[in-house]
Structure 1
Amino acid sequence: MEIITYDATDSDLVAVSRWTEIRAIRDAKLKAADKLLETAIDKGLGETAFRQYRQALRDIPQTYSNPEDVVWPQKPSLPQASA
């Protein structure tokens, strides 16, 4: 078994760990966004805002170079049912 060593600094290790956390949060938000989009489609609502939200979530790792700078996109809401 080969042992691989890296010359990673503590800062590098923290950044890698933080990106792992960011991706896990993003993945959970994407699952919720998928359900939200399905609900919007089922109700015959416009899909654009929901699709844009999902795309913004997918783009997080490419949009930000520092995990501490990540700003989560605003989740669109479904209209409230009228009485």
Structure 2
Amino acid sequence: MSEMSMDVVPSLVLNKEGLEFLQWSSIRVRRDQLLRESDHTQVQDSPLNEGQRAQAAAYRKLLRDVPQDVGDPFTVVWPEKPGFLK
């Protein structure tokens, strides 16, 4: 069995930028999932009334703005889902 030099083994410890990249990726995955879960609220034949549809649209806008509104991926505050969607 041959021994590998420590210089050849890649580091498994991520630097700050790597951790931030992974966190942003995780945030986008969650955001996209929440958007998909509320897609049905914006179609014309949705059973929601106009007020509920407007609330859902506002919630979806806040979700889409999450990556742009926050500078630190570890301090994201998710918008509250309207009660009728819970």
Under a length normalisation based on structure 1, what TM-score does the superposition of the two structures give? 0.74
Is 1:72 matched with 2:66? no
From the superposition, tell whether residues 41 and 73 of structure 1 become closer, same or farther in structure 2 (CA, over 3 Å).
Answer: farther
Shift, 1:78, TM fit:
2.2
Residue number in structure 2 paired with 1:15: 20
2:47 corresponds to which of 36, 43, 46: 43
Q: Number of residue pairs matched?
A: 70
Residue number in structure 1 paired with 2:32: 27
- % of aligned pairs identical? 31
Give a deviation string over 1:31-83, Cα, whole Å, max 9, x none: 00112x1489522412111000000000001000111110110111328xxxx
User: CA contact under 8 A between 2:35 and 2:60: conserved in structure 1?
Assistant: yes
* Separation in 2, partners of 1:12, 1:29: 26
Aligned-CA RMSD value? 2.2
Note the residue ranges of structure 1 that are not aligned, 5 or more in a row: 1-8
Under a length normalisation based on structure 2, what TM-score does the superposition of the two structures give? 0.71
